[in-house]
Structure 1
Amino acid sequence: MFTSDPIVSVKNACIFQGINAILQDVNFNIEKYEFVFLIGRTGSGKSSLLKTLYADLPLQMGQAQVAGYDIEKIKTKDIPYLRRKIGIVFQDFQLFTDRTVSDNLMFVMKATGWKDKAKMKTRMAEVLMRVGLGGAASKMPHQLSGGEQQRVVIARALLNEPNILLADEPTGNLDPEVADGIFQLFQDINKQGTAILMATHNHELLKKHPYRILKCDKGQVLDSKTSDFNLSTSL
């Protein structure tokens, strides 16, 4: 059994995409309240690693524990409960374009077990205020800018007060000024107690913010706590 301290603990894991091993002998922990960058060239395994952590890809070899769940043993019926303890932020938003902001959030709450409509409305209002979109509940996604849509995605990820946010290139499709605002929001969320694992290609972020880095490279995951590597060849 893993220790109860890290929010993520991965041991001797092999990450597969289909029958192909993308990453091998993966070992790392992420502590509560920690902010960690995940970097690597396109196709190096970043997204596959994130998908494994939120149980979208099965873990076929090794061990991983995320928010108290053993990922290699998790049952399908328990995946929604895992995802109540983590938040997932995608680069391409994945919002329902035919539903309002509030309906997008409501869908996630219903899928993760919320029942009380009054509590649901209160929580939706809280997370939208937290991301600076207090007046956006009735808007459709197409009425929002790219940065505002990403804030809705972050609000959606915060609905269940997650222990950790897993973010896959959350600023990749945004212009630099908007991206800076989104990154500041992630920092604020981290300072309030939520761990962050953020995949990024943004070299400027890495230079400005000296957080710990995990690097996917040649089938391995290197850790800046224990390895020296050249960032210029990583993105």
Structure 2
Amino acid sequence: MSFSGEPILDIRDASIFQEANTVLSNINLQVGKGEFVYLVGRTGSGKSSLLKTLYCDLPLRMGSIKITGFQIESIKRKDVPMLRRKLGIVFQDFQLLPDRTVAENIFFVMKATGWKDRAKMKSRMQELLMKVGLGAVSTKYPHQLSGGEQQRVVIARALVNEPTLLIADEPTGNLDPEVSDGIFKTFESINNSGTAILMATHDFKLIENYPKRTITCINGQLEDSAAVTA
């Protein structure tokens, strides 16, 4: 895989662990700025463990990972929040706060990452909701939204700090195909504006309809479609 400039993600000779078990061994992967890459593999193949290692939810015990300028193997605990500000993270199960409105869910992330100016926060919140096609839901609670709408709120929340890389772990896993298609087009729009995306998915219909570089977790290794087609 060739791309200009320094990669946004550079994994070298890394092994990924889930508790005491090695799930991926001696892996190497580079993702360029502005790329869109699928991460696929069977349940238990290491997809989620790899993603959790990237945002320091799991420790990196072997090898080297540089992501958005941070060296994961030597990162200090106090710097992890700064790393996560440069990453957007979208989960399958939404993880919205049920007792807070959409606006309050987004403000919660803003406050946690250092935003203080209320007017700027409100303006950014409205801009993000418009970007994901939800301009009129700021006062609603999560239970008042459909699954697709909730996932769009999660995407908006992940974009608060203009991340250079968006990590999505099965973002359409709980959605029906039509809704999944709309969510994917939102990700494509975000990617077209310059944000790199690494998306773990089981949705092979999505991959068939929107083919892109695909990394497969298989037998403890990573297989890269770009290496096959290069």
Q: Mark yes or no: TM-score above 0.5.
A: yes
Letter in 2 for 1:217: I
Counterpart-to-counterpart distance in 1, 2:133 and 2:226: 34
Q: Within 2, Cα distance between the matches of 1:188 and 1:66?
A: 22
In 1: Cα distance, 2:57 partner to 2:108 partner: 19
Consecutive unaligned residues in structure 2, runs of 5 or more: none
Equivalent position of 1:189 in the other structure:
190
Distance in 1 between residues matched to 2:140 and 2:187, nearest whole Å: 23
Which amino acid in structure 1 is aligned with residue 66 of structure 2? Q
The whole-number CA distance in structure 2 between the counterparts of 1:209 and 1:129 is: 24
Query: Which residue of 2 is the match for residue 64 of structure 1?
Result: 65
| 1:221 has 2:198 as partner | no
Give the secondary structure class of the aligned counterpart of 2:216. Answer: strand
What is the TM-score normalised by the length of structure 2? 0.96
Give the distance between the partners of 1:179 and 1:188, measured in 2 at CA. Answer: 14
Alignment of 1:13-162 (within 5 A): 13-162=14-163
- Residue 202 of structure 1 and its aligned partner are, at CA, apart by 0.8
Secondary structure of 1:6's counterpart equals coil
* 1:14 maps to amino acid: S
CA-to-aligned-CA distance 1:64-123 (integer Å, 9 cap, x gap)? 011101111111111111111110000000001111111111111111121222211111
1:47 Cα deviation after fit: 0.3
3-state SS of the aligned residue for 2:8? Answer: strand
Measured after TM superposition, the shift of residue 4 of structure 1 is 6.3
Does the 8 Å contact 1:80/1:111 carry over to 2? no
| AA at the equivalent of 1:211 | K
TM normalised by structure 1 equals 0.94
How far did residue 227 of structure 1 move? Answer: 3.8
For 1:83 and 1:214, locate their aligned partners in 2 and report how far apart those are by CA, in whole Å. Answer: 23
Aligned length: 226
CA root-mean-square deviation: 1.2
Q: Deviations over 1:111-165 (max 9, x none)?
A: 1121222211111111011001111111100000000000000000011000011
Please give the alpha-carbon distance, in whole angstroms, between the structure 2 residues aligned to 1:22 and 1:112.
32
2: CA distance, partners of 1:219 / 1:112: 35
Q: Which amino acid aligns with 1:197?
A: L
Are the counterparts in 2 of residues 4 and 68 from structure 1 also a CA contact under 8 Å?
no
Structure 1 unaligned blocks of 5 or more: 229-235
C-alpha separation in 2, matches of 1:23 and 1:81: 26
1:83–1:112 contact (8 Å) kept in structure 2: no
In the alignment, the residues of structure 1 paired with residue 228 and residue 46 of structure 2 have an alpha-carbon distance, to the nearest angstrom, of 18
Give every structure 1 segment of 4 or more consecutive aligned residues whose post-TM-superposition deviation is greater than 4 Å.
Answer: none
How far, CA to CA, are the matches of 2:125 and 2:223 in structure 1? 38
Q: Distance in 1 between matches of 2:124 and 2:45?
A: 37
Alpha-carbon distance in structure 2 between the residues aligned to 1:118 and 1:58 = 38
